[in-house]
Amino acid sequence: AKPPLTVLVTGAAGMRQIGYALIPLIAKGAMLGPNQPVIIHMLDIEPASQSLNAVKMELIDSAFPLLKGVVATTDVVEACSGVNIAVMVGGFRRKEGMERKDVMSKNVSIYKAQASALEQHAAPDCKVLVVANPANTNALILKEFAPSIPEKNITCLTRLDHNRALGQISQSLDVPVSDVKNVIIWGNHSSTQYPDANHATVTTFSGDESARELIGDDKWLQTEFITTVQERGAAIIKARKLSSALSAASSACDHIRDWVLGTPKGTWVSMGVCSDGSYGVPPGLMYSFPVTCDKGQWSIVQGLKIDEFSREKMDITAKELMEEKTLAYSCLN
Ligand code: NAI
């Protein structure tokens, strides 16, 4: 049998339940495959320690065959020790009436501390996925304060937005979502993100066809499609009275699975990664790009044609990320 991999989930006891939705998926093999045993480390803060222990009890009670160990802790060093995959769901949420800077400041200090803990205690090839918002900027801080972790090993989640975009196209054309591929989320996991369907295709009887041509309504693609994806998180909150949990958890599994096990041939996915300057995005920013993955490494898809409409949208979200970066750095002083 394969030796187990250790997966860390921070913020595992969150009342809004991403952790609660994510942990059983990991234990069932949705993240690392049905033949990969796992050990799950769960971290949360002291006030959540009772509910964290409850999750551990339920994990034990579920008797998941792949689950070879569970650690529930409020000690960041214990949580990070020997971790192969770190999924960072923990963070500070904006409370009513709080300034943006105060929220950023809390998250900067969390991500700075957790960067050091991962750097010192995780497995040397540890792969990191930041889910907690502001996801791109939290990942940026983690990258800057964990210089010994290879830059390529630090990413943030925009796969939920990517999956939402696939879902909208599938609904609009009334085709199974598995027949739709190669949408792109550019930029920030925020309302400035640019969901781009220009290169998306749909599998039909006669091969892969352009989603844009099949939809035949550029106006919809440039307006409602974009805003629906951008504002989907808010729509879920309105309807559920809580933020997206099952779809966020499922997308986090998709992100890690494709990263570790590879993307299918001819398919790309969206991941927030460190820009190398591709498509004119400032190097060093954590920006969502189309990527393919092979042997545990992602690479940005090159050579896509970018029209003027797209260019403008890609720049708006880059600008927001630069502002977030400046704000985050101002919190360090
Ligand atoms: P939540 O607020 O219920 O859970 C966050 C948890 O983090 C809490 O249990 C809190 O105690 C814990 N936490 C706070 N500081 C911590 C620390 N220093 N170490 C460990 N844990 C700590 O939120 P929920 O719904 O579970 O979401 C988590 C995050 O994911 C939020 O920031 C949310 O905005 C973000 N999110 C991101 C998505 C994406 O697509 N990137 C989608 C949906 C949510």
pLDDT of residue 206: 92
Number of the ligand 1 atom closest to the C-alpha atom of 16:
3
pLDDT of residue 45: 97
pLDDT of residue 106: 96
Residue 287 near residue 136 (C-beta atoms within 8 A)? yes
* pLDDT < 50 positions in the chain: none
Number of the ligand 1 atom closest to the C-alpha atom of 189:
41
Residue 47 near residue 118 (C-beta atoms within 8 A)? no
Helices (H) and strands (E) in the chain, counts: 12, 14
Number of the ligand 1 atom closest to the C-alpha atom of 19:
26
Q: What is the ipTM of this complex?
A: 0.96
Around 92, how many Cα atoms within 13 Å sit in the side-chain half-sphere? Answer: 17
Annotated binding-site residues for NAD(+) read: 11-19, 44, 107, 131-133
Is the CB–ligand 1 distance for residue 331 below 6 Å?
A: no
Residues 161-216: pLDDT tens digits?
999 999 999 999 999 999 999 999 999 999 999 999 999 999 999 999 999 999 99
Is the CB–ligand 1 distance for residue 243 below 6 Å?
A: yes
Candidate of 9, 10, 18, 244 to mutate for ligand 1, largest count of ligand atoms within 8 Å of Cβ: 18
Q: Is 146 exposed, middle or buried (0-12, 13-18, 19+ CB in 10 A)?
A: buried
Active-site annotation holds for 162 = no
pLDDT of residue 283: 97
Annotated catalytic residue, options 41, 189, 199, 255:
189
- Name the pTM for this structure: 0.97
Is the CB–ligand 1 distance for residue 134 below 6 Å?
A: no
Angle of helix 135-144 versus helix 308-332 axis, rounded to 10:
60
Q: Which residue's alpha carbon is at the smallest distance from atom 32 of ligand 1? A: 132
Amino acid identity of 206? S
- CA of residue 223 to ligand 1 center, whole Å: 30
- CA of residue 10 to ligand 1 center, whole Å: 8
pLDDT of residue 200: 98
